[in-house]
Amino acid sequence: MHKAHPQVGVGAILLRGRYVLLGLRKSKHGQGVWGFPGGHLEYGESPEECFAREVLEEIGISIDLKNIEKGPYTNDIFKESEKHYITLFLISRTVLGDPLVKEEEKCEQWKWFLWEDMPKNLFLPIVNLKKSGYTPYI
């Protein structure tokens, strides 16, 4: 059986000092796990534009494109749902304001965690990111 081609996802790593923002996912894709804000890269959109759009849509905070750094990527295969993503991670260290739950059907809550003390139930791209040894503090 022919599988669909991989899709491109963008993960927004939002930092405040040593804290990172995670949301408890409610949608079918990753339900019950913690993930970064983010979503699908749209046609004609840069990863930085996707980052800023998704952060504004999901948590109501505007991020200036000049405050976004390129980060690593992961190759994520969700066997149960037969989905395959390349996830591009980008980082902003200048997050002002409090995150709001703007898409209640997709996210239960937003919470700041120490990078070193994230919950165990993480969205697969973050699991793969952590396995790679990546840290935003090098």
Structural domains in the chain (count): 1
Q: What CATH number is attached to the domain comprising 111?
A: 3.90.79.10
The pLDDT of 15-40, averaged and rounded, is: 94
pLDDT in tens, 108-127: 999 999 999 999 999 999 99
Look over the chain and give the mean of its residue pLDDT values, rounded to a whole number.
Answer: 95
pLDDT in tens, 71-100: 999 999 999 889 999 999 999 998 889 999
**What is the domain extent for residue 127?**
7-131
Q: What is the pTM of this model?
A: 0.94
Q: Who wins on pLDDT, 28 or 66? A: 66
Strands (E), the chain: 7-16, 19-25, 34-35, 38-40, 69-78, 83-92, 107-114
Residue 137 within a domain: no
Residue 136 within a domain: no
The pLDDT of 43-69, averaged and rounded, is: 97
Residue 21 within a domain: yes
